[in-house]
Amino acid sequence: MQGKTIKPSDMEAQNDKPFEVPIGDTKEDIKARENIISNVYRSWYKANPSKAVYNANLKDYINVRFLSINETIHHASMSYLSTLAVLQLDLILKNAYQVGKPQDPKPDNKNQSGFSKMLIMECPLVGIGTAKLTVGVKKKTGMKIQYCITAINT
């Protein structure tokens, strides 16, 4: 089974050339999806020098940092749908809405140690289902940092 061919109008991070998101679970497929996600963030950084997007639901900015990229590459590359979700990074950051109450960071997760709370957010995506956006709230500053994006199988 083949992946979805993405046209430049869908995503600009691939030098305006169509590309295919691999659908399989081989090491090569996962590595290819990691590269696609990395390119999405590279393109997004160029288009957003402030590295932040205003989220209407939170009434605050969600910042994208190195941790955001690493966590998302690691988790989203494991799934075809999650990789497709990351292609809509800007839309997710702007339109995700918080579900449930803020959660405490996982005590055994070193990457969450700098956060006082973790916010779980969702954003419906046509053709994919629902994207889950995890946002960490920094302990000292209260700054909201995108932690991870994945697709939720619905």
Q: State residue 19's pLDDT score.
A: 75
For 20, 70, 123, 131, 146, the CA distances from 40, given in Å and listed in that order, are: 14, 13, 18, 16, 15
List, edge to edge, every strand of the sheet that includes 144-152: 52-55, 60-63, 144-152, 129-138, 115-125, 97-98
What is the span of the domain harbouring residue 21?
5-152
Q: State residue 153's pLDDT score.
A: 73
Question: Cβ(9)–Cβ(87) under 8 Å?
Answer: no
Provide the domain count of the chain.
1
> CA-CA distance, 118 to 77, in Å (whole number)?
22
Ranges of the chain whose pLDDT falls below 70:
1-17, 154
Q: State residue 16's pLDDT score.
A: 56
- Residue 99's SS3 state is coil
